[in-house]
């Protein structure tokens, strides 16, 4: 099954030879996203949803040589919750490709658990490997400064690629940070991980296109991101359920979700039965318990993309 999936993906990504660093803006897609944002805000207005609590980026992949982008508040930095793990996944593959991290069974296990199960513990292990830092007791001032500089390795890597909306230097926590992790938060800016939906969509586009590290490594990332939108699960926060329930039967889904008590996000690659293929990233704040916000935005985008595919 995996071999067939990877073979199919490699055939698809071969067409993306001319992918831009950032998909070009397209006013037609802006209209689709603006409509989705307006529809969603209107539906949830009585529950207090405000336009500034929603950010959406859409990338149309129908033309492999020239993916196009539309967004609403796509350049706004937002706390990403576990969507940041998509960037840690890409960085881990880059470090392995360069020989900076050994490609071991333990690293592979951690990547799988970080993306498939959204494990924070697995993410902590990979961040330690990526940055050469560890959690622990507080450090003297000179040492904590060096520690924080090293912890910014992933942020610096994406900045070197032209990403402007990626701050990836914190571990995701359950109860909260302690020791040197909390010490660094007190002493240094920025305080938190942050992402924009535009840069999240760019990375996902590069993974789909086989342009993230290498074709083979991109295919491995896609295999971990694969979801079954029709799967039955008792977990209301199963990652396939963030966008999945909005998809028509026969759709395919790859995604990385993130949620906290204040945020609910999803970054998804969607293939519709009618042929439309696109990246959709939706970040929401202040309404983490409203599971239908992301789905409402997705349904509106799907309607827009379906209409566009008929033209």
pLDDT tens-place string over residues 25-46? 999 999 999 999 999 999 999 9
Average pLDDT across the chain, whole number: 93
Burial track 247-258 (b if 16+ CB lie within 10 A, e otherwise): beeebebbbbbb
Boundaries of every domain in the chain: 10-78+196-311, 80-194
- CA 107 to chain centroid, in Å, comes to 20
Among the CATH numbers 3.30.70, 3.40.50, 3.40.710, 3.30.1070, which is that of 10-78+196-311?
Answer: 3.40.710
Distance CA 83, CA 174 (A): 15
Distance CA 172, CA 81 (A): 7
* Confidence at residue 17, expressed as pLDDT on a 0 to 100 scale: 35
The arithmetic mean of pLDDT across residues 213-241, rounded, is 95
* Confidence at residue 308, expressed as pLDDT on a 0 to 100 scale: 67
Distance CA 261, CA 263 (A): 6
- Token pair 């060096």 is found at 146
Tokens of 146: 């060096």
pLDDT tens-place string over residues 123-155? 999 999 999 999 999 999 999 999 999 999 999
State the sign of the Cα–Cα–Cα–Cα dihedral 242, 246, 249, 255.
negative
Distance CA 283, CA 52 (A): 11
For residues 131, 134, 140, 145, the Cα torsion angle rounded to the nearest 10 degrees is 20
* Confidence at residue 151, expressed as pLDDT on a 0 to 100 scale: 98
pLDDT tens-place string over residues 255-281? 999 999 999 999 999 999 988 999 999
Confidence of residue 310 (pLDDT cuts 50, 70, 90): low
* Confidence at residue 309, expressed as pLDDT on a 0 to 100 scale: 61
């Amino acid at each position: 099954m995996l071999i067939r999936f990877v073979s199919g993906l490699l055939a698809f990504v071969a067409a993306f030879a001319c992918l831009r660093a950032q998909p070009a803006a397209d006013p037609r897609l802006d209209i689709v996203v603006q409509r989705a944002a307006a529809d969603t805000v209107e539906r949830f207005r009585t529950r207090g949803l405000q336009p500034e609590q929603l950010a959406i980026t859409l990338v149309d992949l129908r033309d492999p040589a020239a993916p196009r982008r539309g967004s609403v508040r796509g350049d706004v930095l937002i706390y990403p919750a576990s969507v940041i793990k998509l960037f840690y996944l890409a960085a881990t593959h880059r470090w392995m490709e360069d020989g900076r991290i050994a490609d071991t069974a333990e690293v592979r296990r951690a990547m799988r658990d970080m993306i498939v199960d959204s494990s924070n513990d697995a993410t902590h292990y990979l961040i330690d490997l990526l940055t050469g830092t560890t959690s622990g007791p507080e450090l003297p001032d000179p040492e904590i400064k060096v520690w924080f500089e090293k912890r910014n390795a992933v942020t610096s890597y994406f900045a070197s690629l032209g990403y402007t909306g990626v701050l990836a230097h914190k571990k995701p926590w359950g109860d909260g940070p302690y020791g040197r992790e909390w010490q660094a938060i007190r002493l240094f800016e920025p305080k938190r991980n942050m992402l924009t939906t535009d840069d999240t969509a760019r990375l996902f586009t590069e993974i789909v296109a086989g342009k993230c590290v290498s074709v083979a490594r991109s295919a491995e990332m896609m295999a971990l991101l694969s979801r079954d939108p029709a799967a039955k699960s008792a977990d209301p926060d199963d990652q396939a359920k963030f966008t999945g329930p909005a998809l028509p039967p026969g759709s395919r889904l790859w995604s990385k979700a993130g949620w906290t008590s204040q945020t609910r996000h999803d970054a998804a690659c969607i293939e519709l039965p009618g042929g439309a293929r696109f990246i959709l990233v939706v970040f929401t704040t202040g309404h983490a318990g409203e599971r239908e916000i992301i789905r409402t935005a997705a349904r509106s985008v799907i309607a827009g993309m379906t209409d566009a595919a008929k033209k």
